[in-house]
Amino acid sequence: MNKFDAVIFDLDGVITDTARYHYLAWKRLAETQGVPFDEAFNEHLKGIDRMGSLDLILASAARSYTQEEKLALADEKNRHYVQLISTMSPADLLPGAVPALDACRAAGLKIGLASVSKNAFAVLEMLGITGKFDYVVDAAKIAKGKPDPEIFLKAASELGVAPERCLGVEDAVAGVASIKAAGMTALGVGDPAVLTQADRVIPGLDRFSLAV
């Protein structure tokens, strides 16, 4: 008998790659604040929510910011990001994404999405896969971002599945930590040398298997 009743996926870097759009949007914002920003710095933002990412960037700024200023900058970044992703389509799905979702459905498992992106609903629509999920967490209603387990526990609760019967799928260190803190099994997508907390690591969803 399969040991899982539900599979909860991350979005960015797992099902689609919007990382390049986040990078471009954050880079433009950082440069307007006189903060150096490159791909190496961007790696530290993987799996971190918008305000958490902004705090990491502004930590290198020459001045301090009020909460109101931070919110305005976060909105500015998001507007640019939304413009960048507006051309997304099913062609932007990563290899194996749809077959993996279909395999979960064929196995009778519930399927959830636990993305810290507040644009997740829009991205799913553009990718044409909204209907493949039983529940999508609204990141705007999550108080604590990854690595806190809140977002994965919310998904499990709404799916009606105990955390220990859930498989979480993540590409970021913070995301894998979130899954493990929730008491779930973690399937990492990426480099096993990086995702050391994961129970198993695959290079991409084209190698997806429920045998973890």
d(Cα 190, Cα 106) in Å, to the nearest integer? 25
Domain count, the chain: 2
pLDDT for 1 = 42
Complete DSSP assignment for 123-150: HHHHHT-GGG-SEE--GGG-SS-TTSSH
Each residue's pLDDT, cut to its tens digit, for the chain (212 residues) gives 478 999 999 999 999 988 789 899 999 999 999 999 999 898 888 778 889 999 999 998 999 999 999 999 999 999 999 999 998 999 999 999 999 999 999 999 999 999 998 889 999 999 999 999 999 999 999 999 899 999 999 999 999 999 999 999 999 999 999 999 999 999 999 999 999 999 999 999 999 998 87
pLDDT for 131 = 97
User: Is 180 part of any known ligand binding site?
Assistant: no
For 176, phi then psi, to 5°, come to: -65, -40
Task: Tell me: do 119 and 182 sit in the same domain.
Answer: yes
Residue 207's closest CA among 108, 94, 127, 120? Answer: 94
Task: Tell me: do 43 and 107 sit in the same domain.
Answer: no
Examine residue 63 and state whether it is found in any structural domain, yes or no. Answer: yes
Asked if 138 is an active-site residue, the reply is no
Task: Tell me: do 47 and 106 sit in the same domain.
Answer: no
User: Is 206 part of any known ligand binding site?
Assistant: no
User: Is 46 part of any known ligand binding site?
Assistant: yes
User: Is 49 part of any known ligand binding site?
Assistant: yes
Q: What is the CATH number of the domain that holds 171?
A: 3.40.50.1000
Examine residue 155 and state whether it is found in any structural domain, yes or no. Answer: yes
Asked if 12 is an active-site residue, the reply is yes
Task: Tell me: do 79 and 123 sit in the same domain.
Answer: no
Examine residue 201 and state whether it is found in any structural domain, yes or no. Answer: yes
Domain span at residue 136? 6-16+91-207
Task: Tell me: do 129 and 173 sit in the same domain.
Answer: yes
Residue 156's closest CA among 169, 146, 148, 165? Answer: 165
**Which residue in 5, 10, 17, 199 is the catalytic one?**
10
User: Is 119 part of any known ligand binding site?
Assistant: yes
CA geometry: angle 35, 45, 154, nearest 5 deg: 140
Task: Tell me: do 69 and 134 sit in the same domain.
Answer: no
User: Is 117 part of any known ligand binding site?
Assistant: yes
Among 51, 69, 85, give the residue marking a domain's end.
85
